[in-house]
Amino acid sequence: MAFFRLTRVSRRLLESSVSATPSSSYVFHSQQQHIYLSKPVTTTRHYISPLLKYPLWSHNHDVWSKGTDFHHEKVLGVGWNHRLVAGMSSVVEGNPKKDDKEKSGVGCVKEASWVDLYLPEGARGYAKLARLDKPIGTWLLAWPCMWSIALAADPGSLPSFKMMGLFGCGALLLRGAGCTINDLLDRDIDTKVDRTRLRPIASGLLTPFQGLQFLGLQLLLGLGILLQLNNYSRVLGASSLLLVFSYPLMKRFTFWPQAFLGLTINWGALLGWAAVKGSLEPAVVLPLYLSGVCWTLVYDTIYAHQDKEDDVKVGVKSTALRFGDDTKLWLTGFGTTSMGLLALSGLSADLGWQYYASLVAASGHLGWQIGTADLSSRTDCSRKFVSNKWFGAIIFSGVVLGRTFQ
């Protein structure tokens, strides 16, 4: 009953007519309206699903609009960050410029992640603090570990599934711990950056003390995994914590925090080999480690271009600001160096031709990222960044094939 009342009220407010859609929803077409940006007239469609019986109130479906009016009267969708009610949403139509759309958020609807859909409300803040809804960071941490474990396998053999399972869990925990540390140290900065202001600690969803408790739990679970490795690996793994804790501070002091991230996130290139062999083989693992650092400089510089305007405002540094208009030239150099070091590591490990075929494919992927990245588009920078999980997969498959058919 409440639903139909809301429908009638919405219909009168919007002065709209009803038409059917292919999804059997009712679409209420509003009159032409003006969005007070630097844009021409656009139109808005409001959707009401007849399948919903009760009003919905979810922070995961924020509708962003600005300065809308109908005959100079403010109505639904005005201002910032309005929620969906009873299944109603607003989709702005028209052709606003990309820069206006990305900066103002016009036409953007935040999608609910699996964390919002399936986890209890009390657990959602912790899951988002560990970035469980954004697994790309775990992939980027795990791939160097998997490369190293596969390199350490005996000729003609597959990599140890036990080790890959341990390192996969370790990557999930360590990445979550790193994000927690980052959010604790950056909570004052995060509130000033559009992309990060809704993070759990910055937004007040979790307190810093709750973040510290969660960090302790993650480190304790990580210790449980580390203790299953040999003594050499335990010492080597524990030494990475210095990098993990200090990395979030680097953006305050240097334009090269992405290089420091590379040293941190690729530590598994050393640790994976040590976990299998009980020692390090510098001719194999050092080129592998340094290639990962150069790879990180590529993808994280692209990522940093999302925040360059906010970084200038809050006074933090990045390679995106350091390289400026020469970014693609720098990235080409780092990408080329990364591929050369990967080839050197493969030669030292005496891998088969399959590995070098994978390097050709990976080089093409890296070249595609650098060549087509639109560094002025946050959406495209994010898309290119996330695509690096496939770069890691290509290298891993090459190592496995090169070692198996050696």
Question: Can you give the pLDDT at residue 166?
Answer: 97
- In angstroms, the CA 67 to CA 51 distance is 30
Question: Can you give the pLDDT at residue 194?
Answer: 82
| Residues of the chain under the 70 pLDDT cut | 1-111
Q: What are the tens digits of pLDDT across the range 181-203? A: 999 999 988 888 888 888 999 99
Contact 10, 26 (CB under 8 A): no
φ, ψ of residue 352 in degrees (nearest 5): -75, 175
Yes or no: domain 119-405 corresponds to CATH 3.40.50.300: no
Enumerate the domain spans of the chain.
119-405
Residue 98 — left, alpha, or beta (φ > 0 → left; ψ -120 to 50 → alpha)? alpha
Q: What are the tens digits of pLDDT across the range 382-402? A: 999 999 999 999 999 999 999
Tokens of 220: 């304790």
Q: Considering only CA atoms, which of 136, 138, 134 is closest in space to residue 200?
A: 134
Question: Can you give the pLDDT at residue 406?
Answer: 78
Q: Considering only CA atoms, which of 152, 149, 153, 210 is closest in space to residue 180?
A: 210
Contact 179, 133 (CB under 8 A): no
Contact 140, 299 (CB under 8 A): yes
Question: Can you give the pLDDT at residue 110?
Answer: 55
Question: Can you give the pLDDT at residue 291?
Answer: 98
Q: Considering only CA atoms, which of 21, 75, 15 is closest in space to residue 48?
A: 21
Could you write out the three-class secondary structure of 156-201?
Answer: CCCCCHHHHHHHHHHHHHHHHHHHHHHHHHCHHHHCCCCCCCCCHH
Q: Considering only CA atoms, which of 335, 340, 326 is closest in space to residue 298?
A: 335
Provide the β-strand partners of residue 45: 29, 91
Q: What are the tens digits of pLDDT across the range 214-251? A: 999 999 999 999 999 999 999 999 999 999 999 999 99
Classify residue 30 by its DSSP letter.
P
Residue written as tokens 């009390």? 122
3-state helix, strand, coil in the chain (%, to 5): 60, 5, 30
Residue written as tokens 């290639």? 291
Q: What angle do CA 40, 42, 44 make, to 5 degrees?
A: 165
Q: Which helix (H) or strand (E) holds 11?
A: helix 2-14
Global confidence as pTM = 0.74
Residue written as tokens 């094939």? 401
Contact 258, 319 (CB under 8 A): yes
Tokens of 66: 């600005």
Residue written as tokens 């020692």? 279
3-class DSSP assignment, residue 223: helix
Q: Which helix (H) or strand (E) holds 28?
A: strand 26-29
Question: Can you give the pLDDT at residue 113?
Answer: 86
